[in-house]
Copies of this chain bind each other. A is one copy, B any other.
Amino acid sequence: MKEIKGGVCAARGFRAGGVWCGIKASDRKRDLGLIYSEKTCTAAALFTTNLVKAASVLVSAEHLKRGRLHGVIANSGNANACTGEAGIQAARRMAALAADEFALSPGDFAVASTGVIGVPLPIEKIEAAVPSLVNALNNEQAGHDAALEAIMTTDTRRKDIAVECEIAGKAVRFGAMTKGSGMIHPSMATMLCFISTDCAIRGELLDRALRKAAGLSFNRLSVDGDTSTNDMVLVMANGASGNEPIEAEGSDYKIFEETLTFLCVKLARAMARDGEGATKLVTVKVSGAGSEAEAETLAKSVVSSSLVKAACFGADANWGRVLCAMGYAGVSFNPDETSVDFAGTAGGKNAGLITVFKNGIPVKFSEEEAKRVLSGEEIEIRISAGSGSGFAEVWGCDLSYDYVKINGDYRS
């Protein structure tokens, strides 16, 4: 498996593009994007678990039932959530507008939206822009880049990837783009992720692989504990690589699942690093728990704690808050068998490791050294919670002044 260029267009047969249609008032930043495959794709998706679901989520879930798509049309600047029946009609119309351009049916397109909740989607602006959007489709990096820009909101970095692996002698490619920096919490929140692949794979297996990959990546990510109304992770597989279709679990499926997981984990980490206001990527690894699920629960409790996050921002080796967050996770563990290490990365280099708590006993450490370890761009909190075999790794970020600033008045 190797990383390659091209984003979602790295997978053969996919084109992408983005334009400014006027939903975003300022900057003429692109706000409408499209990813399209000429060949019909096998498709699978995961949607938000929020009870309040955006119109785009409801409509896409409906379209996904068939398990086949040609593409996805997405806008930023407006979530089309809490917009009632008019919102549903607008989402349907969005799919139909894309479909019309290719003489396909609306059900061949998924629809995604992200942005402010509760404002009617200006569908007439989208309608006016779709022809130029389709004209702008491109099967190279530039197409990917334009579509990616069109789905970004408060994101400060691009979060995309493409990889190539070999499946039964054929080079199979995957591309992906994601947006999301606030409102991110298990399971998924204000995140959109579109994955293309030219692999041929049966729908049921595609769905299985996506669930597995998301469970080890996006669902192990927390930025601020809020789960949004609009989340969607979508994978489309068009078979253009010419591989013998994957029809059953086996070594080909294994490679597919591993590649998809690799890609999703990379994106999840990138999203944590780009959390709203984040200055640091925080990784929490829990080992020795009673089970993987318990390790995950403990790790998420630590990575979600406002106090732990604020301590990471302040480069403060405050392991007491780590223990405290484990304590209210609702999972049983023995504090007397627990150990905590902090490790840091600064300027891309290992910034050292300090042990702060060992088998239930505080370890004396140099505050100066701790500051040095924790002042870089990555912090890893390694927790041994006992002698069990449960292990999990989760990602989040620190809590900074800028998080408050960004969210104190997002709408204006």
Contacts and interface: CB of A to CB of B under 8 A. Distances in A.
Contact of A226 (B229, B321, B357): B321
B407 A324 contact: no
A227 interface: yes
A116 interface: yes
Interface in A183-227: 183, 185, 224-227
A53 B334 CA distance: 12
Contacts of A305: 225-226
Interface stretch (A75-83, A90-98, A141-149): A75-83
Nearest to A83: B362
Is the contact region of chain A dominated by helix, strand, or loop, or is it mixed?
loop
Contacts of A89: none
A306 to B, nearest CB: 4
Contacts of A306: 224-226, 306, 403, 407
A321 B117 contact: yes
A22 interface: no
B399 A404 contact: yes
Interface stretch (A102-110, A130-138, A325-333): A325-333
A362 B82 contact: yes
A263 B326 CA distance: 32
Given A311-B408, A321-B226, A407-B307, A333 B81 contact: no
Contacts of A79: 320
Contact of A357 (B49, B82, B367, B407): B82
A316 interface: yes
Contacts of A335: 51-52, 82
B81 A332 contact: no
B313 A404 contact: yes
A182 interface: yes
A326 B229 CA distance: 11
A385 to B, nearest CB: 11
A400 interface: yes
A408 B310 contact: yes
A310 B404 contact: yes
Contact of A318 (B316, B321, B361, B411): B411
Contacts of A310: 403-404, 406-408
A319 interface: yes
Q: Which of A117, A306, A329 has the most CB of B within 10 A?
A: A306
B362 A324 contact: no
B81 A229 contact: no
B183 A361 contact: no
B307 A226 contact: yes
Contacts of A119: 362
Contacts of A329: 51
A228 interface: yes
A404 B400 CA distance: 6
Contacts of A242: none
Interface in A157-180: none
A316 B408 contact: yes
A352 interface: no
B411 A328 contact: no
Interface of A: 49-53, 79, 81-84, 116-119, 182-183, 185, 224-229, 304-307, 310-311, 313-316, 318-321, 323-329, 332-333, 335-336, 357, 360-362, 367, 399-401, 403-412
15 contacts: A49-B328, A52-B326, A52-B327, A82-B323, A82-B362, A118-B357, A182-B307, A225-B306, A226-B321, A226-B325, A229-B320, A229-B327, A306-B407, A310-B407, A316-B408
Given A51-B329, A81-B324, 12 more contacts: A50-B324, A53-B327, A82-B320, A82-B335, A118-B319, A225-B225, A226-B321, A226-B324, A310-B404, A316-B408, A316-B410, A400-B404
